Structure 1
Amino acid sequence: MCAAGVAEAGTGTFIYAGCSPSKYQPGTPFEANLESLLTSITNAAPNGGYNTFTAGANGTGGGPAYGLYQCRGDLDNGDCAACVRDALGQLGQVCPAAYAASLQLEGCYVRYDSSNFVGTPDTAMVYRKCSTSVSSDGGFLGSRDAVLGDLQQGVVNGYKVSSSGSVQGVAQCLGDLAVADCATCLGQAVGQLKGTCGTALAADVYLAQCYVRYWANGYYFRPTQVDEDQDRAENVRGLATGQV
């Protein structure tokens, strides 16, 4: 199985976001802790592709905030930092004053919450996208299954790209997942992908702690075919929070 480069797309391309319905009030301890948390994320991103943070959880700050960021595994630190800055800027616009929020760009992912979610197993489906163009060609389906099998079994350090024939794919797990947990998450993602997208020429499935994507060469990132009116996309699960 040959490794493949990730298809050409800007790291700042928006994929999905989720916001809690409950909002915090200005001037509250949670707002101050969240600002501290987001500053820590911004400062850490130039030094590595994944990290988790807490603010105000020592019992003295009130209203603790928990968060993380992760960049796509092939990005260097500079591109990672730029993507995270972009993601945090968009997050503030899409989810203003939300107690919990997450946002996925092409090149990175950011999330925060008022409840500690870090390290808690979660394989719920968050987002999926299936191309409306399909193929029953045996060669395509064989290549697709080979790519998905390789991604499911061969992820190293949480990230892998793969190709077979006309199909390319990429998979990634959150940085704190153990190898066995990553494999379990990817197995569920592949099952969801096949079950919900069938024989689509391109498909993405994002679970809470991992994602799997594949596309046929020359298809996935053509602008006329990533428009929402041509491909079926669904933000499956919004964020919940204990705040009311």
Structure 2
Amino acid sequence: MPQLVTLLAITLLLHLHAAPTAVAQAHAATGAFIYAGCSPSKYERNAAFQSNLDSLLTSIASTASSGAAYNSFTAGGVVGQPEAARTAAYGLYQCRGDLSRGQCVACVRETVARLGAVCANSYAASLQVDGCYVRYDASDFVGRADNTVAYRKCSSSSSEDAGFLKSRDAVLRELQAQAATGYKLTASGTVQGVAQCLGDIAAPDCAACLAQAVVQLKGTCGSALAADVYLEQCYVKYWQNGHDFRSSQDYSGDEFGRTVAIIIGILAGLALLVVFISFLTKAC
């Protein structure tokens, strides 16, 4: 019987590690982790800021069901209050422009839930997944132009083929010219691309952000077959059709979110494994 317990335990562990749940499969396209940013400064539990932050995150999760692809929020705070005494929380969410209302709601709610685990007790945090983006801060950042690079990556494969480079440049030109008015997906030859700005910036600021993103893509990734760049208020991505993306360069400077997500999954699996082994041992 001990051998049976060991065999069943190993089987369960392999299943937990290798078999994704139906929910994970359903949200693979929208919930895939891209990057997270967490401030090093932490707030104390039960502080006034935590109360306002909880209210803010609740508003984000509930308001997404209204169907709006973007919204910003403020919770708490007093006008004219000194910086050191401020307890207000500011935040926003945005969904990818091609998502349905249901997909947007599910993505935002899931991302809000994950943000607390990825950036526990941080005064500022952001989490970008494939389908949506959620950010909060103790300082008011909403609507303020910011072209800081948050994340960028380049595929390990590249090509100097003239046809590929011509198609890529055509896609980037189209995105830079058209995405300032909203989410844009375009293609040229074998290359596709997508771009989007946050909903809180004006068209001229969006255009400037997109232009900077394109500069970053070309300057950092060269002739890579796929590349992404996320600035604080916009993103631009392109890829060659059928290309299996593999990141060779990652300048986000923050793998904390990915690491925490992996750790949480491992701990959950181990906890279930311990309970399962304990149950079988008692049964024997």
Same fold by TM-score greater than 0.5 = yes
1:18-29 maps to which residues of 2 (within 5 A)? Answer: 18-29=37-48
TM-score of the aligned structures, taking structure 2 as reference length: 0.75
Equivalent of residue 169 in structure 2, options 129, 138, 145: 145
Q: Give the alignment partner of residue 215 of structure 2, picking from 173, 191, 202.
A: 191
Q: Do residues 79 (structure 1) and 99 (structure 2) align? A: no
Instruction: Give the Cα–Cα distance (whole angstroms) in 1 for the partners of residues 166 and 57 of structure 2.
Output: 44
Asked if 1:49 is matched to 2:53, the reply is: no
- Structure 2: segments with no counterpart, 5+ residues: 1-26, 256-284
Task: Using CA pairs under 8 Å that are at least 6 residues apart, name the structure with larger relative contact order, 1 or 2.
Answer: 1
Deviations along 1:164-202, one digit per CA (max 9) or x if unpaired, are 000000000000111111111000000010000000000
Q: 1:9 and 1:28 mapped to 2: Cα distance?
A: 36
> How far is the alpha carbon of 1:62 from its aligned partner?
5.3
Percent identity (aligned): 60
CA distance in 2 between partners of 1:204 and 1:138 (Å)? 21
1:170 matched to 2:194: yes
Cα deviation for residue 9 of structure 1 reads: 5.8
Q: Is the Cα contact below 8 Å between 2:128 and 2:134 reproduced in 1? A: yes
Q: Does 1:107 align with 2:126?
A: no
What residue is the counterpart of 1:207 in the other structure?
231
Deviates more, 1:46-55 or 1:149-158: 149-158
CA–CA distance in structure 2, aligned partners of residues 62 and 56 of structure 1: 9
Partner SS, residue 194 of structure 1 = helix
Separation (CA, whole Å) in 2 of partners of 1:236 and 1:21: 13
Corresponding position of 1:5: none
> Do the aligned partners of 1:125 and 1:237 also contact (CA within 8 Å) in 2?
no
Query: What letter corresponds to residue 49 of structure 1 in structure 2?
Result: A
Determine the structure 2 residue equivalent to 1:69. 93
Backbone CA RMSD of aligned residues: 1.9
AA matched with 2:155: S
On the 8 A contact 1:125/1:236 being kept in 2, the answer is no
- Does the alignment pair 1:128 with 2:147? no
**How far apart in 2 are the matches of 1:92 and 1:132?**
32
Larger radius of gyration: 2
Q: Judge conservation of contact 1:158–1:182 (CA < 8 Å) in 2.
A: no
Amino acid at match of 1:114: A
C-alpha deviation, 1:157, in angstroms? 3.6
| 2:10 paired residue number | none
Could you tell me how far apart the structure 1 residues matched to 2:92 and 2:233 are?
12
Q: Aligned pairs, how many? A: 224
> Corresponding residue for 2:35?
16
State whether structure 2 residue 54 is matched by structure 1 residue 30.
no
| Maintained 8 Å contact 1:128/1:234 | yes
Q: Which residue of 2 aligns with 1:90?
A: 114
Q: Distance in 2 between matches of 1:79 and 1:182?
A: 25
Cα gap change, 1:237/1:173 in structure 2, threshold over 3 Å: closer, same or farther? farther
Q: Whose strand fraction is larger, Structure 1's or Structure 2's? A: 1
Query: Is the counterpart of residue 231 in structure 1 residue 272 in structure 2?
Result: no
1:67-124: CA deviation from partner (whole Å, max 9, x where unpaired): 0000000111110010011111211111000000000000000000000001111001
Return the letter of the residue paired with 1:10: A
1:234 Cα deviation from its structure 2 partner: 2.3
Tell me, in whole angstroms, the C-alpha distance in 1 between the residues paired with 2:253 and 2:207: 22
TM superposition score normalised by structure 1: 0.88
Which structure: greater helix fraction?
A: 2
CA offset at residue 142 of structure 1?
0.2
SS at match of 2:251: strand
Structure 1 stretches (4+) deviating beyond 6 angstroms?
none
